[in-house]
Amino acid sequence: MTGTVFVETLFQIPGLGFFFADAARSRDMPLLMGCTLFYALIIMVMNLLVDLAYGWLDPRIRYGEGGWVTSRPRRLRTT
């Protein structure tokens, strides 16, 4: 997500990263806090979606008690 700050500043593309860098240069604290909060919310939502998708796509993962993600125990082969 923070790569947008570099790319938008380098190529002068208006976007959230450009506004974040511009706010940092001009010390616009409300805009900095708003951009930081927005980035944090996006990262939290993406982490939640990845966790849910991982549990849905991988059949070895199941949700146990207390919301912890656990994998099913494997049986040892005895010959």
How confident is the model over 7-20, as pLDDT tens digits? 887 888 888 888 88
The Cα–Cα gap between 60 and 7 comes to: 39
How confident is the model over 22-49, as pLDDT tens digits? 888 999 999 889 988 998 999 999 999 9
Check: pTM over 0.85? Answer yes or no. Answer: no
> What's residue 15's pLDDT?
83
pLDDT at 70 exceeding the cut of 60: no
> 58: left (phi > 0), else alpha (psi -120 to 50), else beta?
beta
> What's residue 21's pLDDT?
83
Domain spans in the chain, listed from the N-terminal domain onward: 3-71
